[in-house]
Amino acid sequence: DAKTTQPNSMESNEEEPVHLPCNHSTISGTDYIHWYRQLPSQGPEYVIHGLTSNVNNRMASLAIAEDRKSSTLILHRATLRDAAVYYCIPRRDQNDMRFGAGTRLTVKP
């Protein structure tokens, strides 16, 4: 499995954009990049995933570098509810997903 490197923690102000980076330099050509988040006292929640192209959904955008060795999760307007641990997960096997340490995002009012 590809190794990931994410900042341990990040801070953002409410209603400002947040860019959460992830390095996955050992990713293989067929690994999809998945992002999950875990709010306090809850199970992880799927956010977004992509392979090569940038992706958007109602929760976030995913920007994938051209060489695929890094990606960035973009929250366009952070709210207090977005405070969570965010996990970047390169996934090769559809039925095998392992979490790294993630980034703890704090959102300040």
Interface with another protein (CB under 8 A)? 32, 34, 36, 41-46, 49, 85, 87, 91, 94-102
- Whole-number minimum distance, CB 28 to another protein, in Å? 13
Q: Which is nearer to another protein, 36 or 75 (CB)?
A: 36
Nearer to another protein, 53 or 95 (CB): 95
| Planar angle of CA 83, 84, 86, nearest 5 degrees | 130
- Least distance from another protein to the Cβ atom of residue 101, Å: 6
Beta-sheet pairing, 103-108 with 9-13: parallel
Alpha helix ranges (H) inside the chain: none
The percent of the chain in helix, strand and coil, each rounded to the nearest 5, is 5, 45, 50
Nearer to another protein, 29 or 43 (CB): 43
CB of 36 to another protein, least distance (A): 8
Contact between residue 90 and residue 32 where contact means Cβ atoms under 8 Å apart? yes
